[in-house]
Chain A
Amino acid sequence: MGASERTHRLFRHDWKIATNAVRATFAAWQDRLVAAILLLMAVAGLRNGFADLPWLTALWAGGAVSLGVGMAAGRLVLARLAFHAFDGLLAADALQLPFRRRYIGAWHGIGIVMLSGITLIVRPSLLIVSVPAYLVGALMAGLTAAVAMPLRILDATRPNWSVRAWLRHPSAGVAAAIILLLVLLQARTLGPNVALAYAGVGTVVLTLALTDVDESAVRFMTIAGYGSGRIVLRLSRTLVSFVAVAVPGCWLILGAAPAGIVAAASALMFGLMAMRVLAYRLHGKRFADVLVLVLAGLLLLVGYAIPFALPVIALAVFWHLQHRAAAKTWLLV
């Protein structure tokens, strides 16, 4: 094989996987229709949200979103390159700097074109911030990865695995609830609005750790005959113990409204966890994470732009995922 053919071999490899996976995911016309409707709604929601914002606020919001997208894309591309160099078919290419650069450049080129297209639809004047912010995000991902790699060398005893194992035990939920209640006791002195904010943000942060989903565990349980519901129930034991302590405790300390916020935020995180389980039953980790990111973003947008449609859209999304994931039980794939 000549050098010219090898130039974009890594990219062609992943492009082929991506296009085949998308084709398989949206094989039926109903799937394509649902995807098209969701995409249209997402773009419409974004356009609606940004159009009403004052110019400076839109500039900051657009910059922050583009920065986040750039960082996420940068991390995905680097993680993919690390996979290629360790377990991939084309490790020789993934280890050579010129090929690595072309691979990174090609994916970020696609990222910039997509982001520019969306920006042009949503609010064209934001182009001056979206593309530079994306590039800064991608650069930051590269710099943080360079720092993270030497630190990983110190990680010989794998304390993170022990912590992850404990986070699946109901006692972790009780501990997290006690932490939240202690914080809320303190926040009570700062006024009712601050306490409400503490209740919401604190719940999201703590339950993020409690609802962590291990893709390989989901895959194993699927092969072993666990249905989606059973996996979700098993993974939600920690969250249940958190809610059982945090909601009544919050009601006693701050009243009904903050307790409602804790319950609602917990329900939101439960939904996110269930969505990840369904996605991991259907796809590999990378693709599933991107899918969950897109769907969660879409639901947030719908909730913001057309809140009355949120239950219907959320039900449609979960029904679609569950419908496809149900067929995977017992399958050795």
Chain B
Amino acid sequence: MNPAVLLAGAAVDRNGQRVVQEVDLTVTRGSWFGVIGANGSGKTSLLRALAGRLPFAAGSCLVEDEDLSADRAGRAQRFGFSPPADALPEALRARDVLELIGGDLDAVRARLGALQAALGLAPLLDRWIGDCSAGMRQRIAIAAAFAGGHALVILDEPFNWLDPVAMFDLRETLRGMVDNGLTLVTALHDLATLATACNAGLMLADGQVAMTLDEDMLQAAARDPLAFERRTIDLLRS
């Protein structure tokens, strides 16, 4: 099967500095790909570039066999992307946000399916975003990524700010959606989620790939999460 996303030698610049370089990455269709790394390692820049929010400075980017390396708009159209929760407009309600992205609210709710319950979305719909807590905003931002009905979705650290119950429900629901065909790319700090929910992944350090994680490695990690955590932390420290 052809991969959903194929990056080769990808590089990203921010403010004149190269923050991501020589990244090779393959995301299989209908899989969950996790990106881990220390703060400032380039995770967000890589995901933003993939979602068209930043240009690639070098390398190639194939999305569903189409070369979109130089086409930011094409990449932005192809991926659902959760905006930073703190950048959501305070003077709008969650309902407005979802309708602007996905049109009719009933259609958006149908697209979200089980995710609505996992995110506890119903009571948030008529709240002003300016009146929402950080966790509530995060839920709305995640829903926004799925409102357009994309088959490829990128979430940047989706479990930040969420309470333990919401984290559990969201992880289970996302895993179910991936099993039903969704292709998901997420930045993560949570090694347990990486080990138990992702199909593949990579670790970034100083903008470069420090380790790639295939399905076998992650299955082994799920069997012995403590050993995986120790090995990963050692690598992150080094």
Contacts and interface: CB of A to CB of B under 8 A. Distances in A.
A17 B83 contact: no
A92 B16 CA distance: 24
Interface in B2-28: 13, 15-17
Contacts of A85: 53, 72
A156 B97 contact: no
A154 B16 contact: yes
B103 A91 contact: no
Interface string A301-333: 000000000000000000000000000000011
Contact of A89 (B16, B83, B90): B83
Nearest to A156: B16
Interface in B170-186: none
Nearest to B108: A1
Interface stretch (B73-81, B195-203, B228-236): B73-81
13 contacts: A9-B100, A12-B100, A20-B92, A24-B91, A87-B83, A89-B144, A90-B101, A91-B81, A92-B52, A92-B76, A96-B73, A153-B16, A332-B134
Given A91-B51, A284-B90, A333 B130 contact: yes
Given A17-B89, A88-B83, A95-B72, A155 B16 contact: yes
Given A13-B100, A154-B16, A91 B52 contact: yes
Contact of A87 (B52, B87, B96, B97): B87
B100 A95 contact: no
Given A16-B96, A89-B144, A284-B90, A1 B83 contact: no
Contact of A90 (B13, B16, B96, B100): B100
Contacts of B81: 91
Main secondary structure of the interface of A (DSSP, over half): helix
B92 A17 contact: yes
Contact of A95 (B73, B84, B88, B97): B73
A86 B134 CA distance: 20
B91 A21 contact: yes
A158 interface: yes
Interface string A89-112: 111100110000000000000000
A52 interface: no
Contact of A92 (B73, B89, B100, B133): B73
Nearest to A24: B91
Given A95-B72, A95-B76, A89 B100 contact: yes
Nearest to B79: A92
B17 A20 contact: no
Nearest to B48: A86
A88 B97 CA distance: 11
Contact of B91 (A1, A20, A87, A155): A20
Contacts of A9: 100
Interface in A240-269: none
Contacts of A155: 15-16
Interface of A: 1, 5, 9, 12-13, 16-17, 20-21, 24, 85-92, 95-96, 152-156, 158, 284, 332-333
A24 B91 CA distance: 8
Given A16-B100, A284-B90, 10 more contacts: A16-B96, A87-B53, A91-B53, A92-B73, A92-B76, A92-B77, A152-B15, A152-B16, A153-B13, A153-B16
B102 interface: yes
Interface in B145-185: 148
Interface in B44-67: 48, 51-54
A17 B83 CA distance: 17
A1 B102 contact: yes
A22 B142 CA distance: 28
Contacts of A5: 103
Contacts of A153: 13, 16
A117 to B, nearest CB: 25
Contacts of A86: 48, 53-54
A87 B72 CA distance: 14
Contact of A156 (B17, B83, B134): B17
Nearest to A88: B83
B140 to A, nearest CB: 10
B125 to A, nearest CB: 15
Nearest to A20: B91
Given A95-B73, A155-B15, A89 B101 contact: yes
Contacts of B84: 87
A12 B53 CA distance: 21
Contacts of B54: 86
A140 B148 CA distance: 36
A333 B100 contact: no
